[in-house]
Amino acid sequence: MDAKLFKTALVKFAAGFVVVGLLLFLPAGTIAWWRGWLLMGILFAPMFVAGLVMMGRAPDLLRKRLDADEREDEQRTVLALSALMFIAAFVVAGLGFRLGWPTLPSWASWLGAVVFLGSYALYAEVMRENAYLSRTVEVQEGQSVVDTGLYGIVRHPMYSATLLLFLSMPVVLGSPISFAIMLVYLPIIAKRIRNEEEVLADGLEGYRDYMGRVRWKLIPHVW
């Protein structure tokens, strides 16, 4: 086991847990908020298990997933906008709980949790299919076009999974206002995809042909 990689992953996991917890429970004014703990559970428990699996079976993939040093200026803007979106959505959900704003029924939160976990499984399948996945937009040495499995249906199945993940989070929290905030992810991800495809089309052999074969970006017959 790579001790340095394990330490890095553990520190980032702990930091993420603390930051999300603060964003949710400080605005809520209490830790006695079951929807907040439901989101924390379904978000971080699978993440911890997935990290252990990658540590043992695919440490290089884990290392790439932990690398958030974006090289493209446009992608730095995308990441900044995404961070602001998450902060706003989580803080508003917590405030909504504290101030008694309208919330979704309990069954919606549980349904959102099911969708979230299903989307997490989809995300894991994408990582299994594509060993070149990275958090940054780049063409890696020796990279080739992946066009099988989910990549034979849409060009960006990872973003399809994250779209479902992100939109299900405010449902779990029971916040209609947070859901509206999370819809900002649509233009954000459209911007990221546009730049990513420019980079891949210019630098990855066969990607232009792949774009011609697989028409849909995220949702078959829709987008």
Phi, psi of 6 (to 5 degrees): -60, -45
Q: How many helices (H) and strands (E) does the chain have?
A: 9, 0
Is residue 154 domain-resident? Answer: yes
Is residue 221 domain-resident? Answer: no
Is residue 115 domain-resident? Answer: yes
Is residue 218 domain-resident? Answer: no
Domain containing residue 48: CATH number: 1.20.120.1630
Is residue 206 domain-resident? Answer: yes
Report pTM.
0.90
Is residue 220 domain-resident? Answer: no
Count CA atoms within 13 Å of residue 180 on its CB side: 6
17-69, pLDDT tens digit by residue? 999 999 999 999 999 999 999 999 999 999 998 888 888 787 877 776 776 66
Count of structural domains within the chain = 1
What is the pLDDT confidence band of residue 193, given thresholds at 50, 70 and 90?
Answer: very high
- First-residue to last-residue Cα distance in the chain: 41
Is residue 69 domain-resident? Answer: yes
Count CA atoms within 13 Å of residue 137 on its CB side: 25
What is the pLDDT confidence band of residue 3, given thresholds at 50, 70 and 90?
Answer: confident
96-126, pLDDT tens digit by residue? 999 999 999 999 999 999 999 999 999 889 8
Domain interval for residue 191 = 3-213
Which of 125, 118, 120, 115 is closest to 179 using CA atoms? 115
Is residue 58 domain-resident? Answer: yes
